[in-house]
Amino acid sequence: MGVHHLAGKPAPKEILVNVQALIDAYYSLHPDMNVASHRVSFGTSGHRGSSFSYGFNEDHILAITQAICDYKKELAIDGPLFMGKDTHALSEPAFRTALEVLAANAVTVMIQEGGGFTPTPVISHAILDYNRGRQSSLSDGIVVTPSHNPPEDGGFKYNPPSGGPADTNITAWIATRANKILEGRNALVRRIPFERAIKAPTTTRYDYIGPYVEGLSSIVNMNAISSAGLKLGADALGGAGFAFWPHIAQRYRLDIELMHGKADPTFSFMTVDHDGKIRMDCSSPYAMAGLIGLRDRFDLAFGNDPDFDRHGIVTKTGGLMNPNHYLAVAIEYLFTTRDAWRKDTSVGKTLVSSSMIDRVAHSLNRQLVEVPVGFKWFVKGLIDGSLGFGGEESAGASFLRTDGTVWTTDKDGIIMDLLAAEMMAVRGKDPSEVYHGLEAQFGTFAYERMDVPASPAQKAVLGKISPELIPKGELAGDAIQSVLTEAPANQAPFGGIKVITGEGWFAARPSGTEDIYKVYAESFKGAEHLKQLQEGARDLINQAFVKAGLVR
């Protein structure tokens, strides 16, 4: 798929979302339960959709929230529920709807004092903090966010007492229950007016900022950053964490310039992403073009997506870092500086992340734990300390405190930003320069993700593909060594396929929201060989479609 002519340019007015129309559609449009796209469906990060397309409307949030209340009752999860929202236009109305149901079900809800916004990692941090040492009356959470999705989208996700993304068995229970409620026209939903819900004795104002900011010194060497006197640029991209940066700067005496530090539900300040859409993807050089253009103003700069679970690191020497490059650098730095971590603490990565991470882990004599896409696979290891770091190629990661205990079990963009600053303060090199050192040691790898158009039928085949559908032989001139449909660490199906040779690999997975499949490819030889891998990947997938009886 080609790059749109607007990519990297300021968003023109004509593509900005009509916020009032979007909110009107949230309340006025009702899903048809006979249409698959109108039903509740939890992906790797909750239920997402747009009110314009009947995918994220008040009916959905009423049903999902009631289903969560039913789930909590079923499992006797009766501690407080920590609820946050990001700055997308649909997040506020969905937040209000959810509170009406939670209050009617007598659920104690902790909301940001002053009605502010709360990042995903801060909700995870609050859940874990509350549950530490408890065996009963455990807390859980809801975050109203579609992450980096376009401004017209809404999202709603549930975090159980483990603090991280809900496992598949939980989301399947909630989605099934929610769809049953929707089929009954929400007759089973308990609800009170918002004016009563916000004043209910179960609705509690909570300071999310203070405890999180104060705790940062337990996971990042904040004194080192302060002493180095670095000039830092923080582009909040109008997201949920913009109010946190001034508190962090004041508490730790840091020189931070905040950009886009207020909510704009149209995200009109953004530069357009690769496909001509506004998308707050802090790993995209097109969406981050504004901050990249300012890189010489700072020693180090970083951006985050609307719920602050992802990070984008911008250096003077390299511009926006490839997420895989920064993950590799972060792992190398953490496992050589965190002396209190257990000697058997492992490195976690998703199987579509760079093999540079494999090389780094091996050089550190650390076990590599390779799992399917989805941060939920890292939750248990972060809680018990067997994983020191868990990271995804899509620029999301978290890691342990310096004493080897859990910080969050969801991705945390803030600590990844600050870790880059710590690294620069301690080593005197920015993360791009550190990565060049890894290339000198392990070689130069070429990595890229691309999108390929696919029909729903083709996506269905790819999502449940068998290795037998991939012809044996060569890929990009090298013998195919293995074909995987399950993750090496836990033998869990990952809904796609990975083909590995001695000189590179590719993986392919269907998109859950668009008529495309994603191809991740990496060459150990260079850019030209990467193109051959990508071409070979498309050819092998097309052959699989032919074998499955689908026309190309």
Token pair 């392919």: residue: 508
CATH number for 465: 3.30.310.50
Q: Is the pLDDT of residue 435 over 70?
A: yes
Q: Say what the pLDDT of residue 469 is.
A: 82
Vertex 165, ends 164 and 171: CA angle to 5°? 140
Average pLDDT over residues 17-42: 97
Catalytic residue among 51, 147, 284, 398: 147
Task: Write down which residue in 210, 229, 244 finishes a domain.
Answer: 210
Each residue's pLDDT tens digit, 52-76:
999 999 999 999 999 999 999 999 9
Residue 148 lies in a domain: yes
* Cα–Cα nearest to 522, from 255, 273, 328: 328
Cα distance between residue 221 and residue 234, in whole Å: 18
Residue 217 catalytic? no
pLDDT at 411: 98
Whole-angstrom distance, CA of residue 258 vs CA of residue 268: 17
Q: Domain boundary at 180, 210, 240, which? A: 210
pTM to 2 decimals? 0.96
3-state secondary structure 116-138: CCCCHHHHHHHHHHHHCCCCCCC
Work out the average pLDDT over 484-501: 94
Average pLDDT over residues 401-414: 98
Query: In whole angstroms, what is the distance from residue 424 CA to residue 317 CA?
Result: 12
* Helix then strand then coil, % of the chain, to nearest 5: 40, 20, 40
Q: Indicate whether 488 belongs to any domain.
A: yes
Query: How far is 260 from 243, CA to CA, in rounded Å?
Result: 11
User: What does the pLDDT read at residue 513?
Assistant: 67
Distance CA 316, CA 180 (A): 53
Residue range 360-364: average pLDDT? 98
Reported confidence tier of residue 549, pLDDT bands at 50, 70, 90: confident
The answer to whether 99 and 203 are in contact (CB under 8 A) is: yes
In a domain, 403, yes or no: no
What pLDDT, on the 0 to 100 scale, is given for residue 1?
60
DSSP 260-314: S-S--TT-TTPBP-TTSS----TT-TTTTHHHHHTGGGSSEEEEE-TTS--EEEE
CATH code: domain of residue 129: 3.40.120.10
Burial group, residue 74, by CB count within 10 angstroms (0-12, 13-18, 19+): exposed
Q: Is the pLDDT confidence value at 389 over 70?
A: yes
pLDDT at 512: 73
474 within domain boundaries: yes
Q: Which percentage of the chain shows pLDDT scores above 90? A: 93
The pairing of beta strand 109-112 with beta strand 140-144:
unpaired
Q: What is the pLDDT of residues 254-275, one digit of tens each?
A: 999 999 999 999 999 999 999 9
* 183 within a domain of the structure (yes/no): yes
DSSP string, 340-384: TS-TT-EEEEETTS-THHHHHHHHTT--EEEE-SSGGGGHHHHHH
pLDDT at 43 over 90: no
pLDDT tens figures, 276-298: 999 999 999 999 999 999 999 99
Closest residue by Cα to residue 451 from 226, 202, 269, 277: 277
| pLDDT on residue 472 | 81
Q: What pLDDT sits at residue 470?
A: 85
Does residue 248 lie within any of the structural domains?
no
Which carries the bigger pLDDT value, residue 398 or residue 470?
Answer: 398
Q: How confident is the model at residue 44 (pLDDT cuts 50, 70, 90)?
A: confident
User: Tokens representing 361?
Assistant: 């882990």
If phi > 0 it is left, if psi is from -120 to 50 it is alpha, else beta; for residue 260 that is left
Q: Report residue 12 as tokens.
A: 């023109």
510 assigned to some structural domain? yes
Cβ atoms 173, 77 nearer than 8 A: no
Please report whether residue 109 resides in a domain.
Answer: yes
Q: Which of 166, 186, 210 is the last residue of a domain?
A: 210
pLDDT at residue number 551: 58
- Mind listing the pLDDT tens digit for each residue in 94-143? 999 999 999 999 999 999 999 999 999 999 999 999 999 999 999 999 99
**Contact, 110 vs 83, CB < 8 A?**
yes
The whole-angstrom separation of Cα 518 and Cα 425 is 37
- Look at residue 212 and tell me whether its pLDDT is greater than 90: yes
Distance of CA 133 to the CA centre of its chain: 28
Q: Which of 46, 145, 49 has its CA nearest to residue 95?
A: 145
What whole-number percentage of the chain has pLDDT above 70?
Answer: 99
pLDDT of residue 237: 98
The sheet that has 474-475: what strands, in order across it?
Answer: 446-453, 516-523, 504-510, 493-501, 478-486, 474-475
Range of the domain at 507: 446-547
- Find the mean pLDDT for residues 81-103: 98
> How many separate domains does the chain show?
2
Q: Is the pLDDT of residue 552 over 90?
A: no
> Which of 211, 238, 102, 90 is CA-nearest to residue 158?
102
- Strand, coil or helix: 49: strand
Residues 410, 159: Cα–Cα separation, whole Å: 9
Is residue 514 predicted with pLDDT exceeding 80?
Answer: no
Q: Interhelix angle for 19-28 vs 91-104, to 10°?
A: 30
pLDDT of residue 511: 83
